[in-house]
Amino acid sequence: MKNVILKNSLLLILWLCTAQSILGQQKIGHVNAESVLAIMPEVIAAQSSLNTFIKMKRVEIDKMQKELKMKDEETFAKRNALNAEKKDAFMKLNQIMDAELDTLKNRAEQATLLAKKEVGTKQAELLTPCADKFIAAVKAVAKQRGLAYVLDSSQQGFGMSRIWDEGIDITSEVKAKLGISSITPVIKNKQKRLN
């Protein structure tokens, strides 16, 4: 464990020294990707569409869960209605009801897994063009400014604030390239998850 900590510490020191020498040699810019993407109209529209899709999938899963619950209650009631005198009939009916419940449970589990996969696919479908547009704007601004590197300042880490202080902030230029006003209010669309 100590070796891992020592190794990571040495790597961090090496990285910081390298970052310092890079800063001295080449121009580095930084952009707050989170703040730009949060107000990008395409991202807001994509998140809204994704949230609608998630709600639709949630309704489908909830319907299936209700069907399963009703079948489970029906099965419980039937089992209680049979008396001990009809033991053979009870055993056969019990097997049939268990098979039906297992089938419904499997369908519900498969539908949930499929819905999660579909949400991931839909998210990639909707947000990839937004990310591509953002990256193209960052590249264009970096090229205009002669920047060798552009880092994401929304991703804070140990020692990163020093880079942000010394680098060139191109966030407002990227927003302008995307046609986003600097005073556009931040609208947070939190993605909902399927449980």
Over residues 149-163, mean pLDDT: 67
Q: For residue 11, tell me if it sits in a domain.
A: no
Name the pTM for this structure.
0.62
Strand-pair partners of 31: 152
Q: Is the pLDDT of residue 159 over 70?
A: no
In which band, very low, low, confident or very high, does the pLDDT at 118 lie, cut at 50, 70 and 90?
very high
Q: For residue 3, tell me if it sits in a domain.
A: no
Q: For residue 17, tell me if it sits in a domain.
A: no
In which band, very low, low, confident or very high, does the pLDDT at 55 lie, cut at 50, 70 and 90?
very high
Q: For residue 167, tell me if it sits in a domain.
A: yes
* Tally of domains in the chain: 1
Range of the domain at 122: 23-177
More confident residue, 130 or 5: 130
More confident residue, 117 or 18: 117
